[in-house]
Every structure is written in C-alpha cells, then in structure tokens.
A and B are shown apart, each in its own frame.
Chain A
Amino acid sequence: EAGVAQSPRYKIIEKRQSVAFWCNPISGHATLYWYQQILGQGPKLLIQFQNNGVVDDSQLPKDRFSAERLKGVDSTLKIQPAKLEDSAVYLCASSRSRTDTQYFGPGTRLTVL
C-alpha cells in the first residue's frame, strides 16, 4: 500500500511570496490533515478534512493560509503572502476515518527568507 505522498519536499521563498503544497493521501482514506511543525516543536494541526468538507480549521491562520480538497482525494495548502515565521515542515496525514490512526507523509520543508 502506497503511503501519503507530498510535494515538493523542499521550498525556499522570499517573504511576501506565495507558495503551495500538494498532498495525495493513502487510497481510501476519507480524512486528511495538514500539520505545521516548527523546529523544536511537535506538529500542530492546521486543518482537517472529511472527504471534501472541512471538519476543523480553528488553528489555520485564515488571513494567509488556505486549503482545499475539491474531489475528496488530494489536497493543496497555500500560503499567501508568506512570513518569516511560516518557516516550518508542513506535514500531511490521512486516516480511514476520523477515529482511525493517522499516517503521515514525509513533509515539505519551507524556508522563508
């Protein structure tokens, strides 16, 4: 069974630029999560989807971050405009349902200069 795929693996941008990350969850997994992991901290949930609907986006900075999962499969997370403090690893995870174990992708390391 293929794992969670994410791209790109690394991204370097200037502050105020825009960036987008892509995630393809494990086949058949209805729930998809985006996490932000700042260096030295644990992952922090940004948004949770159940199929193509948003379940929880309470910790998503909505003034600059957006995410979508239009067809209930893959998802994109966008930051526009980026700030220095957005430098982090962005992890995507998926699970069969909202109560099942979450499986993580390798992450995208974002550096904002």
Chain B
Amino acid sequence: DQQVKQNSPSLSVQEGRISILNCDYTNSMFDYFLWYKKYPAEGPTFLISISSIKDKNEDGRFTVFLNKSAKHLSLHIVPSQPGDSAVYFCAAIYNNNDMRFGAGTRLTVKP
C-alpha cells in the first residue's frame, strides 16, 4: 500500500539553481505533510511541514507547495547548495501521527 509516492529516485542540479522535489499521495485523509532530509548513516531530520489547510509554507531557502486537488506536493530549494545533497523523504500524516513515507529522492547538488 504505497499511499505516498516519490517517482523520481534521483535528481541532480547545479549549485545555485533551484531544486524541485515532487511527491504524490493517494489518501485524501492525510491532513499534514512533511519533508525529511537524510544523510548517510544518520536518521531522517525534519526539514519543513505544511498543513492541509495551507497551500504554501516557506522557511529560508526551502518552500513546500501543496495542491490538494491534485494530491501533490513539492519541495523547492533555492538556491541549492552542495550541503543540500541528501535523500529527501516526503511524508504524510493522518489519524494521530500515523505517518507514511515515500521512497525518497536522492538529491545531488554539483559545485
């Protein structure tokens, strides 16, 4: 039951350019969405979140957009930096913090 999907396993961008990571979901009961970042040999680290009542949330270089009608969210990183190279997981929550994750997208930012 893959309720959260990240269809791009990898993404490569040039330093200074925009990185756009995409995520689709199927369960309309999800009411909160998060992005986690994961470096090798470490656990996922919370990055940014958005409630289903909003369509945009911004935190510094990171912006998350939510399109409920399309069941789609995206993470924009502007400008991208080499230190942003990591695996990014999209996650969605319903029913008291029952969190479902996508498979992740490996972002590589080239200097």
In the complex, the answer to whether A98 meets B96 with C-beta atoms within 8 Å is yes
Question: Restricting to B1-51, which residues have a CB under 8 Å from any CB of A?
Answer: 4, 6, 34, 36, 41-46, 49
In the complex, the answer to whether B89 meets A101 with C-beta atoms within 8 Å is no
In the complex, the answer to whether A43 meets B44 with C-beta atoms within 8 Å is yes
- Selected contact of B43 from candidates A48, A100, A107, CB within 8 Å: A107
Give Cα A44–Cα B101 distance, bound, in whole angstroms. Answer: 7
Contacts of A98 in B (CB 8 A): 96-97
Give Cα A106–Cα B41 distance, bound, in whole angstroms. Answer: 7
In the complex, the answer to whether B43 meets A41 with C-beta atoms within 8 Å is no
Contacts of A104 in B (CB 8 A): 36, 43-45
Give Cα A55–Cα B99 distance, bound, in whole angstroms. Answer: 13
> A53 to chain B: closest CB distance in Å?
13
Q: Is B98 at the interface (CB under 8 A from chain A)?
A: yes
Give Cα A56–Cα B94 distance, bound, in whole angstroms. Answer: 13
Residues A103 and B46 in contact in the complex (CB < 8 Å), given A42-B102, A42-B103, A42-B104 = yes
Contacts of A42 in B (CB 8 A): 4, 6, 89, 91, 100-104
Of B4, B34, B43, B101, the most chain A CB neighbours within 10 A belong to: B43
Contacts of A46 in B (CB 8 A): none
- Interface residues as binary, B84-111 with A (CB distance below 8 Å gives 1, 0 otherwise): 0000010100001111111110000000
- Interface residues as binary, A71-111 with B (CB distance below 8 Å gives 1, 0 otherwise): 00000000000000000000101010011111111110000
